[in-house]
Structure 1
């Protein structure tokens, strides 16, 4: 069991590394020791960058007490890096999913810390398909599941509406979450917009962007410089559209390093 000291370490991790981190959806299965190697290698090469890695065994934690041995090995390797924070994926279906099912998933992830053989602890939850509506029922739903996660020793809570929060709702949503993905769209959509128009003003330090379909020939560095310049909490670019490859990670990490020198 990984207790209070582990939680404190997870909470203080962000302060020890770059202010804008990498929020990495890692939806591939670690079929062998090499599948997630780009993640391990990037974390080892860039200890000043916080990698918040979202794991997703089965559109959530799955229906077993612990994941299988292959996944356990991958999780333990992720947790061996001080600058990696493992976050578990849970869908919310626009705050329409049965809250008891969401809480059951939270409980499963929380229980991974009881695994004795290796450290497969999850440090937080990524609530996908989150609402952005200024709707008190939906806001209350997200507040409830956030509180459930935090009270289950999963201190980092991320909401992913994927789009800007509706006017009048930002204060309550951001109070309930540590990070909110307000822009999840293609690279071309980001480069053809005015970034400030797509994020809630006053909350940049808790906002994140995820850009998919970003060609490896694209200008990642400018995007990262924009994210850092705005003081965003996290950013990520990928050349895929399903988050099952990490081919772009080396370039993303290098862009963070280069942006930090500007």
Structure 2
């Protein structure tokens, strides 16, 4: 079975008027593409509910059928107390009980996750917490940002196995950095993409051909804005997915 590569998006910008519009346009223009979108109100959920701008804009995202919204939590590379992480997960789950709008989430994005097997039980605890708590969707997407032992894929639905600049990715061998056996559950976030490049189509084709679950090629290295390459990238994912089915 051929898998469609998802668009992976850390949506770390505040939803002031019009800021998230490029995402809504991409969701509408590429209905065959699944978008995995991370929201991060305050280095985590913040208060019990997000503010009115987040409520309005998350509701707009949820109106699209081709998107998974995941709430951001972090582990500080394994040093953060599990009780604090559990509290964040409980808060995100509480969003599903909000009755005025649909701000429910499809899972949790766990950032700054440790890559050492010494932390396997720690990560397993987070996985179990998400699975037992989130009721609307309980995807677990972790972000060590580097390739990890294959056993970690037993306690995650998705692992972001590479987060670095596009040049670093190419210098490290690109797709060869991540074993083929785990790519169907792996994502890659490649920032500092050259905005004047004419290789976007071939770069996306290479990621789709390599069978990654999801990817992002973006100019902005802080995920703080949508850049000029965003529409091109999302369109190329749609086209490359379609070509793989031909």
TM-score bucket of the superposed structures, by smaller chain: over 0.9
4+ long deviations beyond 6 Å: none
C-alpha root-mean-square deviation of aligned residues, in Å?
A: 1.6
Q: Normalising by the residue count of structure 1, what TM-score does the alignment of the two structures yield? A: 0.87
Q: Structure 1 residue 103 and structure 2 residue 103: aligned?
A: no
Residue of structure 1 aligned with 2:231, choices 219, 239, 250: 250
- Cα offset for 1:194? 1.8
Secondary structure of 1:184's match?
strand
Aligned residue in 2 for 1:49: 33
**Unaligned 5+ residue runs, structure 2?**
none
Aligned residue in 1 for 2:179: 200
Conserved 8 A contact 1:18-1:49: no
Conserved 8 A contact 2:3-2:211: no
Aligned residue in 2 for 1:209: 188
Aligned residue in 2 for 1:121: 104
Cα deviation 1:234-254 (Å, max 9, x = unaligned): 000111011111223211112
Secondary structure of 2:69's match?
strand
Secondary structure of 1:100's match?
helix
Aligned residue in 1 for 2:126: 145
Aligned residue in 1 for 2:49: 66
Q: Structure 1 residue 29 and structure 2 residue 14: aligned?
A: yes
Corresponding pairs, count: 239
Q: Normalising by the residue count of structure 2, what TM-score does the alignment of the two structures yield? A: 0.93
**Unaligned 5+ residue runs, structure 1?**
1-14
Conserved 8 A contact 2:162-2:189: yes
Conserved 8 A contact 1:146-1:177: yes
Q: Distance in 1 between matches of 2:127 and 2:60?
A: 27
Conserved 8 A contact 1:92-1:102: yes
Conserved 8 A contact 1:54-1:126: yes
